[in-house]
Amino acid sequence: MSTPHIEVRGLTMAYGDYVIQRDLNFTINRGDIFVIMGGSGCGKSTLLRQMIGLHQPAKGAILYNGVDYWAASEETQASLRRGFGVLFQAGALWSSLTLAENVTLPLREFTRLPKDVVQEIVALKLALVGLAGFENFYPSEISGGMKKRAGLARAMALDPEILFFDEPSAGLDPLSSQRLDELILELRNGLGATIVLVTHELPSIFAIANNSVFLDADTRTMIASGDPKLLVEQGPDKVRHFLKRGLSES
């Protein structure tokens, strides 16, 4: 497979006339765990939103398996999106549905499986994230970390090819955050999905990522890309400084 799974070419992000980031170029290979890094307010989440099709870029292209998402027809976009699983920052579980119903909804909408099979799949997905037995709880009845994991179960409902995470460990204690990292890694190994995550948690970056891009808020463009474990030694000063703080602290 020579075409990279995801390719970003000459991407410029802007709100009106205000440019957030310009000329972003990077590729993500199948099975990568890719981190979008950078300080607060540099446009990490915006980049993620443009990659998952919520926000149109000002310029440039985002290609999935060689198909330009924003130039594609509505149907192609919809079928590409079906291959995405997204975990939003606060879980974004539907508050009036139980956890089981949250995971069931995509399965019901996009597969033609019989009801009891769907139920078994939902039980498996919840078991994968360690929430077996919580099927009939409502999001308001569980903790923040559990909401994240339930959100992950919903993101995985359709066995997506690409999983996007927006700040998966925000608001979690270090141990839960570490467990979530391990879970992400296990799931990647199990399901073979490509994973794209926005984070500035340095321990997570070093624990799981094998590819990355570093967005800089001052120059408003990317200043480095590649394996964070190499960047920490060979990257530009700013990136090394950012990443080394993590090493000395953890």
Partner 1 sequence: MSEARVQLEGDARERRLVLGGDWSLQRPQPRAAAMLPGLANAERLVLVAHELGSWDSSVATYLAAVLRHCGARGIEVDQRDLPDGLRRLLALAFAVPARPDARGLAPRKDYVTAVGEASVRLWRDLPAMVEFVGEIILSFQRLLRGKARFRRADLWYFIEDAGVRALPIVSLISFLVGTILAYMGAVQLALFGAEIYIADLVGLGMVREIGALMTGIILAGRTGASYAAQLGTMQVNEEIDAFRTLGVSPIDYLVLPRMLALISMVPLLTLYAGIVGCLAGALVATTVFNVGLYEYFNETIAALSLKHVVVGVLKGTVYGALVAYAGCLRGMQCGRSAQAVGETTTAAVVLGILLITVSASVLTIVFQKLGI
Site of interaction with partner 1 (CB under 8 A): 94-96, 98, 107, 111-113, 117, 120-121, 123-125, 127-128, 130-140, 156, 158-159, 183, 186-187, 189-192
Q: What letter would DSSP give residue 31?
A: T
> Whole-number minimum distance, CB 241 to partner 1, in Å?
36
Cβ closest to partner 1, residue 9 vs residue 179: 179
Cβ closest to partner 1, residue 27 vs residue 119: 119
> Whole-number minimum distance, CB 66 to partner 1, in Å?
20
The helix (run of H) or strand (run of E) holding residue 60 is strand 59-64
Residue 140 three-state SS: helix
Question: Is residue 202 a contact partner of residue 247, using CB atoms and an 8 Å limit?
Answer: yes
> Whole-number minimum distance, CB 204 to partner 1, in Å?
19
Six-digit token pair at 105? 């909804």
CA-CA distance, 15 to 17, in Å (whole number)? 6
Question: From residue 38, how far is each of 10, 11, 227, 242 by CA, in Å?
Answer: 19, 17, 15, 8
> Whole-number minimum distance, CB 96 to partner 1, in Å?
4
Cβ closest to partner 1, residue 52 vs residue 129: 129
Cβ closest to partner 1, residue 60 vs residue 85: 85
CA-CA distance, 86 to 201, in Å (whole number)? 19
